[in-house]
Amino acid sequence: MSDIMRPISIEALLNWILEEFKRSGTIFGVRRLYKADPKKTLALFGEQMETPVGPAAGPHTQLAQNIIASYLTGSRFFELKTVQTIDGEDLPVAKPCISARDEGYNVEWSTELRVPDAYQEYVKAWFVLKLLSREFDLGSPNGFIFNMSVGYDLKGIKTPKIQSYIDQMQDAAQTPIWAECMAAAQKMLPSFTRIDADYLAQIDPHISRSITLSTLHGCPPAEIERIALHLLTEKHLNTFIKCNPTLLGFEYARRTMDELGFDYIAFDDHHFVDDLQFADAVPMITRLRAKAAEQRLNFGVKITNTFPVDVAQNELPGEEMYMSGRSLFPLSVAVAKKLSDAFHGELQISYSGGADIFNIKDLFEAGIWPITVATTLLKPGSYQRISQIANVVTSLPYPTHVQLDLLKLDQLVTKAKHQALYQKSIKLPISPKIDEKLPLLDCYTAPCRGTGGCPIDQDVPAYLRYVSEGKYLDALKVIVDRNPLPFITGTICVHPCQTKCTRQFYEGSIDIRGVKLEAAEHAYDELMATMKKPTIKKDAVKTAVVGGGPAGLSAAYLLAREGMPVTIFEKDAQMGGVCSQIVPEFRISMASVQKDIDLTKFMGAEFKNGQAAPSLADLHAQGYTNVIYAIGAWHHRNLKLAQGTAINSLEFLKATRQDKMVHNPYGEHIVVVGGGNTAMDCARVASRLPGVKKASLVYRRNKRNMPADEEELYLALDDGVEFLELLSPVSLENGELTCEIMELGERDTSGRRKPMPTGKFTKVPADTVVSAVGETIDTHYYQQIGIATDARGLVLSDSATLETNLDHVFVIGDGNRGPATIVEAIADATKAAKAICEVHNEHYEQTNLNVDRTVPRSKRGILVTPGSGISQAARCLECSTICESCVDVCPNRANIVVNVNGDPQIMHIDRMCNECGNCATFCPYSSAPYKDKFTLFNSEADFYDSTNQGFYVIDAAAKECLVRVGEIVETINLNETVMDIPNGLLDMMETVIDDYSYCLAD
Ligand SMILES: Cc1cc2nc3c(=O)[nH]c(=O)nc-3n(C[C@H](O)[C@H](O)[C@H](O)COP(=O)(O)OP(=O)(O)OC[C@H]3O[C@@H](n4cnc5c(N)ncnc54)[C@H](O)[C@@H]3O)c2cc1C
Ligand code: SF4
Ligand code: SF4
Ligand code: SF4
């Protein structure tokens, strides 16, 4: 494994393209080739482009194959990766260099290749595009534009290295690489169907007539102007100069970031002070425009550069990184507006800065073009995302000249400040990764089901597919196979599955929970009418379940379904536990809870309500062999106040639920103390009680650091609950709660910032204080039965079965874990039930796989935009059938799909990888594909330079390979029996030699 990329020769590149297409119908993994509309072209620099969109100077324009993949998906304007005089190994880039999970960050800034090598990549790409446009009929061979990007100071630009780069980009005819491209194409002419020698002869060697100047932060205005003048007058290049968000001033940028929730992005004002000032920019641009007009050249600005910010939370190595993506958009459009106003909309803007499918129409309609993208292409779907962007732009009328619509631009600036799209979640992000390591083979997985996702392994892709096809009964059968509470979980499950959903990297996680409810609502009656009642097994032992909440109901359902006799003892008059006694009815109705209760009843479980369960000895005496305790966690922690007392949250919720929120004995000002989900419920109930003037929530941290789920926080905010953050309650006297004001200190191990006392105090009006600072389990209850507990008072049990020290006695649910969740209660119930009898709840494992792989593949790279009419269920990417996120997101195409005996497997190609780290961000496993997938090396030296498991083909004809599997390194012959290497890997190597030999050539 090395971060040095090795470019592929033009001959190998052409061979790769043609062979891959022949084999798999793809080119560098691109499945859907974009055909340009021949009627649409836009003129710029005296050239034509079919779509005014493409990749920004960055990871997607570094290697020839990157540019080719961009073209194939619809790009027609290419801003080539910046070159500057310091290059190659003299410019070490810390790795990983990209972090693009949400807003983007990078620490690389110009090509990692030597400038002559970068030049060759651009020429090869240009040549190949000329061939592919014709061969695959993708558009006019003259329908795209290459735009150079150079940095950073005039001295560097005037070095022979950069001067010759510029000159040879303007005319490559006499360069060796041009001759090499021509020779390779001629040699391969028989492989082409629409290209002949005449066509080759007329390929235009004038690769670029334009340049974007990228100067370092702090570059003095006079230097920027000198360089631009040099480019205009001495190099005769159409010129864009890059402008920075720093033109907005520190105050504006800081305020905007804070208001949008990007308050954690750290930067001070030094770049704002050092960079080009707006007052200097306007006259400078005016002079340069005049000079360009004199030279009959285009001049414009590139808006914007990425934004330098501090590395504050180990996002990337080093101290400074460059921010891009959705957080940059509000700043970049504001710069666009500010400059456009100054030039009455006549200044051409080449735009980049958070452009994506959601704003492309607005940008283009505001008169902004060309538009380049980077961060959106780093996310799953990647290059293929360009097609959708190109389709939007081509559906709009193309302008004939530069004229920005200042009103539309103004609206865009306002929109960017208010749209949810540009707002960061109020909560700390949860890792999308599952807690599992990447296997070498067969890695496709649905992360919604993985460890850290759904605790009961619901067959999510299966039921989403059924719902998307309108097959609700099939979907509900899938759901209840593992989940006895479809209504309760369909309504109030905390849905950990959604935190892992791959679709979050598109336009948002799928509402998996909502789809479950949809299936339940549509098909429940039919399911009840058609289900067969289980018959009780003869001689089966009896089980008593103590507690009829989610855990107890689930255990009873699963056992009863297997024909086991079960009785639930519930002390409340109703089954349902917290769901029927505590959770407010506006969150889940009793009618819904009742449907789930009836499901368990249908299975044959006996219910004994209205009195506490008999003692363990009595249960045994009544013939119950197994006893499952599912008593919840109802003990309340007390809020310590120097004066006055708070009421208990569970009592408050229970009383208001029983009273149907008709009376209000609590006063006009109700203060809830706490920051968890129970606190949100209390505050929301309080806000609804008659006569309440204000329901407030007091918490010692801020919203971002509250434990409540994001959804619950937003619902409380929507209900008008007043959030009083960073307050710690001290005493309650005379209708006022005195609180100490806190401030946030260092982060603790959970990543949350610790609240620190300030010694300052404030008073909050409070007729009643509700304490929602957490519940605990009733340790004493267990101890008096003889169940062993640990030092924290939790029950000691076998983690696989939840059986306690007492034989056949189990503890599950909140009573086992402490306050937890409904779905975890079901998970516990499943474990205990499985310890008692064989539970058949995996009928639909295979249904998660779509037999037609083309269906999930066709969804990749297509974002669902508002108004598209695509249902939640239909958005599922069916990740267990097809993942390939690492293939998508690699800018360099260094992860490929190899079809081994009909099954797709991922192979990493060492020489194409620069260890940018992007595939590690999006692989659902807690692993990095570029380190952990089986790797193809193209030289022995590369093989030994790496610790990756993988192989180097020493002799393809003889099938001789140098292989590393685990710690073992050996030379093997695939024609002979090899004992110590898994067959799957042997098959993979053989397949690569036989069918993917184009990957082996240099
Ligand atoms: C206010 C609040 C809101 C919540 N919101 C959510 C949410 O939105 N989503 C989510 O996933 N989770 C939520 N939870 C957590 C969730 O309710 C629990 O994790 C879940 O109810 C645990 O199920 P359980 O069966 O273990 O316990 P419980 O629901 O507490 O059920 C225990 C049952 O045992 C009965 N019992 C106790 N002792 C005896 C006895 N000796 N004899 C007979 N019966 C007995 C009790 O009456 C009760 O009915 C919330 C919790 C609270 C407090
Ligand atoms: S896209 Fe579908 S299969 Fe993939 S994680 Fe989301 S719900 Fe699961
Ligand atoms: S394989 Fe991964 S680390 Fe390597 S270049 Fe591609 S995305 Fe970056
Ligand atoms: S991202 Fe790649 S390596 Fe990771 S699971 Fe998906 S296909 Fe496998």
Digit-coded pLDDT (tens) for 370-401: 999 999 999 999 999 999 999 999 999 999 99
Contact assessment for residue 803 and residue 788, using Cβ atoms and an 8 Å cutoff: no
Position 648 scores a pLDDT of 95
Protein residue whose Cα sits closest to atom 6 of ligand 2: 501
Which residues neighbour 948 within 8 Å (Cβ) at sequence distance 6 or greater?
A: 1, 908, 910, 931, 932, 933, 935, 964
Q: Which of 884, 888, 898, 927 to mutate to test the pocket of ligand 4 (most atoms within 8 A of CB)?
A: 884
Distance CA 156, CA 82 (A): 13
Which of 516, 853, 877 maximizes ligand 2 atoms within 8 Å of its Cβ, making it the mutation to test the pocket? 877
Q: What is residue 1's predicted lDDT score, i.e. its pLDDT?
A: 53
* Nearest Cα residue to atom 5 of ligand 3: 913
Rounded CA-CA distance 520/318 in Å is 51
Q: For residue 816, which atom of ligand 1 is closest to its CA?
A: 26
Ligand 4 contacts CB of residue 885 (under 6 A): yes
Report the atom number in ligand 4 closest to the C-alpha of 895.
Answer: 2
* Beta carbons within 8 Å of 172's beta carbon, 6+ residues apart: 123, 126, 178, 205, 206, 207
Positions in the chain short of pLDDT 70: 1, 750-752
Predicted pLDDT at 218: 84
Among the bound ligands, the one closest to the CA of 455:
1
Helix (H) or strand (E) holding 955: strand 950-955
**Nearest ligand to the CA atom of 99:** 3
Whole-number Å distance between alpha carbons of 256 and 263: 9
Pocket test for ligand 4, best of 434, 435, 438 (most atoms within 8 A of CB): 438
Residue 929 Cα: closest atom of ligand 4: 3
Helices (H) and strands (E) in the chain, counts: 36, 35
Nearest CA to ligand 3 atom 4: 913
Ligand nearest to the CA of 931: 3
- The rounded Å distance from CA 870 to ligand 4 centre is 26
User: 630 C-alpha to center of ligand 1: Å?
Assistant: 9
The atom number, within ligand 2, closest to the CA of 453 reads 5
Distance CA 70, CA 49 (A): 14
Cα 437 to middle of ligand 4, angstroms = 11
Beta bridge partners, 961, equal 953, 972
Measured N-to-C along each axis, helices 221-229 and 278-294 cross at an angle, to the nearest 10 degrees, of: 10
From the CA of 514, the nearest ligand is 2
The first and second tokens of residue 191, run together, are 């492989």
Identify the pLDDT of residue 148. 98
Q: How far is the CA of 151 from the centre of ligand 4 (A)?
A: 36
Which residue from 602, 593, 774 is spatially nearest to 677, judged by alpha carbons?
Answer: 774
User: What's the 35 CA to ligand 4 centre distance in angstroms?
Assistant: 29
> What's the gap in Å between 382 CA and the centre of ligand 4?
14
Task: State residue 936's pLDDT score.
Answer: 98
Bridge partner residues of 731 (DSSP): 738
pTM of the model: 0.96
The ligand placed nearest to the CA atom of residue 881 is 2
Q: Does ligand 3 have an atom closer than 6 angstroms to the CB of 919?
A: yes
CA 587 centroid distance within chain: 28
Closest ligand 1 atom to 781 CA? 41
Please indicate whether residue 511, judged by its CB atom, sits closer than 6 Å to ligand 2: no
Cβ-contact 350, 372 below 8 angstroms: yes
| Residue 405 phi, psi (nearest 5) | -90, 105
C-alpha 878 to ligand 2 mean position (Å): 6
Which ligand is located closest to the Cα atom of residue 499? 2
| Nearest to 79, CA basis, from 346, 305, 368 | 305
For residue 50, CA distances in Å to 204, 812, 844 come to 17, 63, 48
Return the number of other C-beta atoms located less than 10 Å from residue 750's C-beta.
Answer: 10
* Ligand 3 geometric centre to CA of 876 (Å): 25
Residue to mutate (ligand 2; options 464, 513, 880; most atoms within 8 A of CB): 464
Q: Does residue 98 contact residue 106 with C-beta atoms inside 8 Å?
A: yes
Cβ(224) to ligand 2 under 6 A? Answer: no
pLDDT of residue 977: 80
Q: Is the CB of 895 under 6 A from ligand 3?
A: yes
**Ligand 4 pocket test, candidate residues 883, 889, 895, most atoms within 8 A of CB:** 883
CA distance 103 to 321: 12
* Strands laid side by side in the 371-373 sheet: 53-55, 371-373, 348-351, 299-303, 238-243, 208-213, 145-150, 77-79
Index of the ligand 2 atom closest to the CA of residue 875: 1
- The rounded Å distance from CA 648 to ligand 1 centre is 16
Rounded distance from Cα 874 to ligand 4 centre (Å):
22
- CB of 933 closer than 6 A to ligand 4? yes
Q: Which ligand is nearest to the CA of 898?
A: 4
- State residue 441's pLDDT score: 97
Ligand 1 is surrounded, with C-beta below 6 A, by 492-494, 546-552, 569-572, 577-578, 582-583, 612-613, 630-632, 653, 677-678, 681, 813-815, 820-823, 825
> Do 517 and 492 touch, CB atoms closer than 8 A?
no
Cα(827) to centroid(ligand 1), Å: 14
CA of 930, nearest ligand number? 3
Distance (Å) from CA 923 to ligand 3 centroid: 11
Which residue, judged by its Cα, is nearest atom 3 of ligand 4?
A: 929
Distance CA 994, CA 427 (A): 51
Angle value at C-alpha 34, between 11 and 908, nearest 5 degrees: 50
SS3 168: helix
Which ligand 1 atom is nearest residue 649's CA?
A: 1
**Ligand 4 atom showing the smallest separation from residue 927 Cα:** 4
Which of 435, 913, 925 is the best mutation target for the ligand 4 pocket, counting ligand atoms within 8 Å of the beta carbon and taking the most? 925
Q: What is the pLDDT of residue 4?
A: 86
Distance 869 CA to ligand 2 centre (A): 19
Q: Whose CA is nearest to atom 5 of ligand 2?
A: 501
- The pLDDT score that the predictor gives to residue 108 is 80
Indicate which atom in ligand 2 lies nearest the CA of residue 848. 3
Q: How many CA atoms lie within 13 A of 355 on its CB side?
A: 32
Alpha carbon of 447 to ligand 2 centroid (Å): 7
Work out which ligand 4 atom sits closest to the CA atom of 887. 2
Considering only CA atoms, which residue is closest to atom 2 of ligand 2?
876
- For the CA atoms of 526, 528, 531, 532, the dihedral, rounded to the nearest 10 degrees, stands at -150
Q: What is the residue with the minimal CA distance to atom 7 of ligand 3?
A: 890
Q: Which ligand does the CA of 821 lie closest to? A: 1
